[in-house]
A and B are shown apart, each in its own frame.
Chain A
Amino acid sequence: MPVKCTRCCVKVAVLKRPKTSDALCKECFFWAFETEVHETITRAKLFKPGEYVAIAASGGKDSTVLAYIMKLLNERYNYGLKLVLLSVDEGITGYRDDSLETVKRNQQQYELPLKILSYEELYGWTMDAIVRQIGLKSNCTFCGVFRRQALDRGAVLLEVNKIVTGHNADDIAETVLMNILRGDIARLQRCTLITTGTEGAIPRSKPFKYTYEKEIVMYAYFKKLDYFSTECIYSPNAYRGHARAYLKDLESVRPSAILDIIHSGECMSVKDGIKLPTQGLCTRCGYISSQEVCKACVMLEGLNKGLPKLGIGKSSKVKRRVESLCKDASKEEESC
């Protein structure tokens, strides 16, 4: 027996919203989805008229829906934004090359300019080459650190005011859980912010902070958006995978769990007197970092010196190792 839409009460419902349990028809779902993202954007004052905004685009479901919705809302509500798609080519054969084809189609479909930056041109290393060096352990750490910086460098090149990413509510709740499990209080405080990098770096925001993954996938499906859904061939990001499976299990029992976890993350605060790492700038590349030398530079140095494990250990150990490497290097120079 088909269920009627609880909002318009006319059409047949196609989806049960995880947030509210409402049964909605296609049109009412589109309306609710788009309006909520618009409200998130306006309530957090994410943009100002005239700003130039880069949409981080991977070709996956989240960023494809983000690009579609940014263009739609920008036109519908006259945000007055200039939009551009920004993609990073990690150099993963059989995965990123295919997903970039999706981004290129999105560029045409949404009539947005596209800039692609590759790890190879930025760092001299593709992910394929990195995996050949380090194997399938910790490769996601390299990729994540490099991607974050690559987006920033792309944004600087394009001279944009802001970057938006497709991180959704499920992603943020997962990150909250991971940071709690690791006791990473500095990241725990940052990870629920809708905008980060307001000091110094180009601000990054997450218009889908309160949007459930289920709704993003259903939106993409009903709108017949063109996205790429293959898992990365190097994907076993095992730690996140566990957090994710746990979160999905919780969601199946109580759908509000995702928003509840984000809320918990927002409410946690650090006792007075607890020392948190302060964010400064990397002395080598000038990128934002809580260490003297940023993670990307340490990792790159490790790769170039044939010590690829360098960037993935504890930062205190790495610091000692870097210092001794620097001493060795200066000794070599002296002896020459």
Chain B
Amino acid sequence: MEITPGIESMANNAAPYVGMSTTVSFNGKSGNISSGGAELLFNNKKKFDVMLPSSDKPWTIKNLLKWIKDNLLEERPELFIQKDSVRPGILVLVNDADWELLGALEYEVQPNDRIMFISTLHGG
């Protein structure tokens, strides 16, 4: 899944963390795609352009995951989220880079980031 945030309202300088539009995608692959993977938990939608609401907390991936769980997940959240993080075996890419390089759960989502979740939990 892929999430790209964009600034919701640049004018709203008062809020410490403005809302952002973000792209969230699942098993997104460019080129010829055979479907399948984590998007099955999201009503088969591979890509979401989302607007994150303004918040008094930074939009860390940790907070974003919680937001995804509350707003996008259609079924069986335990197959996507375990405790505060993604289920082990789901890879997370932020703008095509491994989230482990960016602080993982603590990474603060920036406007227009593309956040992708790729499940490895299927046959090879």
Contact = CB atoms under 8 A, between A and B. Distances in A.
Contacts of A15: 97-98, 101
A39 to B, nearest CB: 21
Interface in B14-42: 27, 29-37, 40
B29 A224 contact: yes
A218 B97 contact: no
Nearest to B100: A16
Given A15-B98, A224-B29, A231 B89 contact: no
B124 A228 contact: no
Interface in A145-166: 166
A265 B98 CA distance: 30
Q: Determine chain B's interface SS by DSSP, over half rule.
A: loop
B105 to A, nearest CB: 12
Given A2-B97, A15-B101, A63-B124, A221 B29 contact: yes
Interface in B45-83: none
A217 B122 contact: no
Contacts of A230: 34-37, 122
B88 A231 contact: no
B27 A229 contact: yes
A232 B96 contact: no
A99 B34 contact: yes
Size class of the A contact interface (CB-based, 8 Å): 35 or more
Contacts of B12: none
A103 to B, nearest CB: 11
Interface in B106-124: 118-124
Nearest to A217: B120
Contacts, number: 94
A226 B101 contact: no
A244 interface: yes
Contacts of B101: 2-3, 13-16, 23
Given A3-B101, A16-B100, A218-B98, A213 B36 contact: no
A187 to B, nearest CB: 20
Nearest to A60: B124
B91 interface: yes
Interface in A237-291: 244-245, 248-249, 251-252
Interface in A60-100: 60-63, 98-99
Contacts of A59: 34
Nearest to A251: B88
Given A2-B97, A14-B98, A226 B123 contact: no
A248 B89 contact: yes
A233 to B, nearest CB: 11
Nearest to B27: A229
A196 to B, nearest CB: 18
A229 B37 contact: yes
Given A16-B100, A23-B101, A226 B37 contact: no
10 contacts: A13-B97, A61-B124, A62-B124, A101-B34, A102-B34, A216-B124, A221-B93, A230-B37, A231-B40, A244-B89
Given A99-B34, A230-B37, 9 more contacts: A2-B101, A13-B101, A14-B96, A58-B124, A60-B123, A213-B120, A227-B34, A228-B34, A230-B35
Interface of A: 2-3, 12-16, 23, 58-63, 98-99, 101-102, 105, 166-168, 171, 213-214, 216-218, 221-222, 224, 226-232, 235, 244-245, 248-249, 251-252
